[in-house]
Amino acid sequence: MFKHLFKLIWNKKKQNFLLMSEMLFSFLVLFAVFTLLVYYYDNYKKPMGFEYQNVWVISYNNAYQTKSTDSLNTYYEILRQNIKAMPEVRELSFCSFNTPFTNNMSQGRISYHKKPLDHVNFYTADESFPATMNMQILEGRWFNKTDVATKNKPIVINSDIKEQLFGKGAAVGQLISNYDEKEKMRVIGVVQSIKMKGDYAATGYGLYQKTDTGSLRWMGKIMVQVVPGASAAFEGHLYKTLANYMKNSNVEIEHLTNKRTSINYFTLVPMIVLSIVGGFLAINVALGLFGVLWYNINQRRGEIGLRRAVGASGGAVSSQLIYESMILATLSLIVGSFFAVQFPLLNVFDLSAGIYISAMLLAITFIYALVFLCSLYPGRQAAAIYPAVALHEE
């Protein structure tokens, strides 16, 4: 029977071409939508990797102007002690402007044994950064007082870089080159990768450098971990303290929980829009498919009547029509999958092959389900055609 149906479809390839193109097109769109959804979901499942519930970000612009490095250090050290002394504050850390859940980025290239690695995020932070963020140190250690500028600047990398460059091997002690391969940096520790861009974004490569006196001149963020339930009154007090200390500076305090909500929102909105567009497209395809199948059945009443006369039961007629649609879907999906597998093969968007494959399987399942459901009713109608009536009509 299969061969018979295949011949029938093949001999009607012209009529079937439109239907198959429609299936192919919707497969490709669904593949795109599912790729994005799977990617987001895959990221969502991974842990955030740090504490954000009770962490606030203080932004300030560098108001303190001095030529003397010592007085600059003293200025910020006093500020640190003042804040730390507050009972609501557990820990604080001065760091670079690319704090979690913002769109601020500082990216560049590093290389290891002449093999370049791009899109590496560079962070600058002081000794108390992991404690403030509750970050996990997987290997080696974080910066401490002994890390003074030597020939090879000490750095900490995240687990994404580690896996990419060293796989399962040890990272601590390795030398990584900066972008122009002039300077070598020594890895002293590996921290767990954290989702800096919200729940739905990938962790990405992260490289941490220690603050030095120079960096204090341009840094403008303080991360503060407060005790749970720190009050608005305390926030007001903190703000006043800062504003008084840093005259002429714009001070702003934000909560990471709020920043997380808003960055998630910005990731979700395009995803929702795309899903809605994809959904409408699927409905459109379903209606089109339904219409075409319905039309086909009315075109083929004579054939259906004849098949009934020579021995097809109503059920056989209806399953034949469903099989035919499924064969058409299979042919379209083979062509579609050929296009789809190019994405992981050519590594088009730097996503892992597993994401593309899951998306492909989802899109295939979806198309099959859609085609099946759309053939079900026309198939039932076909089964109900009276053979005597259908044969009489021609």
Residue 8 is a binding residue for another protein (CB under 8 A): yes
CB of 304 to another protein, least distance (A): 10
CA of 41: how far to CAs of 79, 238, 344, 360, in Å?
A: 41, 38, 18, 15
Residue 154 is a binding residue for another protein (CB under 8 A): no
> Which structure tokens are listed for 114?
């002449």
Residues in the chain: 394
Q: Do the beta carbons of residue 104 and residue 254 sit within 8 Å?
A: no
Nearer to another protein, 96 or 320 (CB): 320
Amino acid at 348: V
Residue 66 is a binding residue for another protein (CB under 8 A): no
Number of residues forming the site for another protein (CB under 8 A): 27
CB of 202 to another protein, least distance (A): 51
CA of 297: how far to CAs of 18, 293, 301, 360, in Å?
A: 16, 6, 6, 31
CB of 197 to another protein, least distance (A): 56
Nearer to another protein, 335 or 391 (CB): 391
Residue 379 is a binding residue for another protein (CB under 8 A): no
How far is it, in rounded angstroms, from Cα 49 to Cα 380?
A: 54
Window 300-329: contact mask with another protein (x via CB under 8 A) = --xx-xxxxxxxxxxxx-------------
Q: Where are the beta strands (DSSP E) in 141-277?
A: 153-158, 175-177, 184-191, 205-210, 221-226, 252-255
> Which structure tokens are listed for 173?
């002690």
Binding another protein (rule: CB under 8 A), the pick from 46, 184, 217, 392 is: 392
CB of 3 to another protein, least distance (A): 7
Which residues from 11-40 bind another protein, rule CB under 8 A? 11-12
> Which structure tokens are listed for 347?
């590594």
How far is it, in rounded angstroms, from Cα 166 to Cα 28?
A: 36
Nearer to another protein, 349 or 386 (CB): 386
Residues lying near another protein in the complex (CB under 8 A) are found at 1, 3-4, 7-8, 11-12, 302-303, 305-316, 386-388, 391-392, 394
